[in-house]
Chain A
Amino acid sequence: MKKIVLDIALGILIVFLMTSLLLFLASAPIGATLSNIWQGSFGSKAKFAQVLAVWVPLTLCSCGLLFTFRANLWNIGIEGQIMIGAVCATWALRPATPEQPLLFLCGAVIGAMLGGAGWGLLAGLLKTKGGVHEIFGGLGLNLVAQGLILWLIFGPWKRPGIASMSGTELLPRQLWLPTFDGFRVTPLGLFVTFLAITLTWLILTHSRFGLRLRAIGKNPTGALLFGLVPERSYLAAVIIGGSLAGLAGCLQVIGVYHRLIPAISSGYGYLALLLVMLSGYRVFPVPLLALFFAGLNVGAIQLPIVLQLDSALSGVIQGGSVLAALFVIGIHKARPRWASFLPGIKER
């Protein structure tokens, strides 16, 4: 236990030194920049609500990724699964009449989860049937999803008069998820996310399915000898992952943007991949780390205005954290319990 605390402290120290060096290179004030990020994320209630609004999709995607990582799959396609979820939700809400908002909202959620699951299944089939490694299949599908969104926004779903990058027409007020006055986060989204975390934990650690995923992820050939079919579990994992990502996409539409925009996924899928790597592929650090990542994202938004720094700083710190964690794990290679969690590529 003491060793883990030391390791984490070492990791944080590396990240801090790296960030300071970077800011020094960019001749930016170190203290001012960091306090700016803090003020911009946890400085006020309104800012914190904004952080939570990012925390919701990030945590949902991470929960989905925990399933796929458990089966030793690199579900890079999660970004596209968010997008397809958002597309399906928008599609379900287009004919909506303000009289029955609840019916249409339920339809949107179900449609988005099915859409995300289907998109995940495609990546899974590309792997199991098409022999394309899931990284490349997923990337291809992400690009297709992005193209689809652009085509919809500039084509069939364009706003009357002008088609622009600002997205489709706003949804009617009745179809917006309720929020606290003046805050950007919906309580319903928070509730769903907590539910997702709990269910993910239960399924992964207390069910036969979770055990099977782990067995297949660790040793597909061995699992086959025990009568487990790796292909089927791969597909099950990407379907679950995809449906959670689709749900995240749906919440972005009905809870945050209230329309379909080109950047609806905001890179949260890729960020969630980093996050789950940082968590050591375990459930309990995920919500905390998601808070950290979301705080960085939101806190960096005002950097270009206040300090003329690019907001990509948050991404550098996030990626750097993962590399620092890997580094700490690497120098403790003698600890196979940690190292065995790292999925590697065995075949293409």
Chain B
Amino acid sequence: MDPSFSILPLLGSVLGAAAPLILIAEGETICEKSGVINLSLDGSVLLAAMSAFVAAQQSNSLIVGFLAGGFTGMLTGLVIVLFSIHLRLAQVAVGFALSLMCRDLAYFLGNPYSRTQGPQMLAFQLPFTDRLSPELATLFHQPLIVYFALLLVLLLWWFFSFTRTGLIVKAVGENPAAAFARGINPLLVRVAAVLTGSFLVGLGGAAFSLCIKPGWGRPQGAEGIGWIGLALVIFGGWNPVRVFVGSLLFAFLQVSGISLQNIFPAIPAQVFQTAPFPLMIFALVFMHYSGKKPAEKSGKSFSSGTFLRLIFSGRSPQALGENYRQD
């Protein structure tokens, strides 16, 4: 191995690559915790990326860009609210159609801005970290959005573990009728969760076009990320911290694909670029088997099965995907 190889710069680039994915997957986690699946991620991420880029370019302001991305995401969330929560249509059907439509909408509306110059969020050294050893310092040389994503993970962990509002969101996701009996309005909670979640998804899209893969074009480079975000929520067992770990894992696969490409030049680059996607999805099979109760086996108290369950176990909110009808 290269003697100059070090884990810290790798971790730094993984964090950078993971930031938009963290935003997207955590946004979807909020949504699904309340019992609503927003299957439109793949399209809404692209649409948000496009509008963020265009807004930032026209206003020459990154903040306007990120806000535009967030509100575009929220707009797709609003469609989910209207169709799935208000009209009680099948969430998967609505989400899938919306996903394909938003993707094409992004290509159509973004066409005039394709391959043009725009502002970009640059990495900067976090204050006081430049005194650390040079290797450690590279870890803190990140764009602002990375720190935002990390803070968000902490915030969500705290929100779902320790706050009453977090408990209410979970209650609605588990059993909306029971929550209603306790004086909670499940529909209102779901609307709030979907809008907040899709705002974060939009921010994730903006993070692509303004920071990680700057610029707009067809293809942008964020294609397929939305589906990974959806898979990550399952992979993380609807737990914000584990969703975060899953995002890091996916980013690691992507980053290491680039180095593997140098080691195996005979294999076309596209294979390495696409390989992390199916890998991530097939990791869900793991989830399934580790989630099962272990066979009635006495003896070792800590088998590999228990270990896997510890990492992978997770249960979907009971009312996930079911529309609630309030009579």
Contact = CB atoms under 8 A, between A and B. Distances in A.
A71 B157 CA distance: 38
Contact of B218 (A22, A310, A316, A329): A310
Interface stretch (A46-54, A109-117, A136-144, A200-208): A136-144
> What are the 5 A-B residue pairs with the smallest beta carbon separation, nearest first?
A319-B101, A131-B288, A315-B104, A330-B87, A140-B281
A319 B109 contact: no
Interface of A: 22, 25-26, 74, 126, 130-133, 135-137, 139-141, 143-144, 146-147, 150-151, 154-155, 270, 273-274, 277, 304, 308-310, 312-316, 318-320, 322-323, 326-327, 329-331, 333, 342-346, 348
Interface stretch (B119-127, B182-190, B203-211, B223-231): B223-231
Nearest to A345: B321
A270 B103 CA distance: 12
Contact of B271 (A133, A147, A322, A333): A147
Contacts of B87: 326-327, 330-331, 333
A147 B270 contact: yes
B285 interface: yes
B101 A315 contact: yes
B91 A316 contact: no
Interface in B90-106: 90-94, 96-98, 100-106
A131 B106 CA distance: 33
B100 A310 contact: no
B282 to A, nearest CB: 6
B37 interface: yes
Contact of A25 (B89, B104, B109, B322): B109
A303 to B, nearest CB: 9
Given A131-B287, A132-B282, A323-B98, 14 more contacts: A26-B112, A130-B288, A131-B288, A151-B267, A309-B108, A310-B111, A312-B111, A313-B104, A326-B97, A330-B83, A330-B89, A342-B93, A344-B90, A344-B323
A348 B237 CA distance: 12
Interface residues of B, number: 56
A343 B92 contact: yes
Contacts of A131: 284-285, 287-289, 291
B54 to A, nearest CB: 12
15 contacts: A74-B96, A132-B281, A132-B282, A136-B231, A147-B271, A150-B274, A151-B267, A274-B100, A312-B108, A314-B104, A323-B101, A327-B87, A330-B88, A344-B93, A345-B91
B13 interface: no
Contacts of A144: 278
Contacts of A273: 96
A344 B37 CA distance: 11
A87 B282 CA distance: 22
A319 B98 CA distance: 7
Interface in B268-311: 268, 270-271, 274-275, 277-278, 281-282, 284-285, 287-289, 291
A131 B284 CA distance: 8
A130 B287 CA distance: 9
B101 A316 contact: yes
B33 to A, nearest CB: 14
Contact of A315 (B89, B90, B103, B112): B103
Contact of A326 (B93, B106, B270): B93
Greatest chain B CB density within 10 A among A132, A137, A150 is at A132
A345 to B, nearest CB: 4
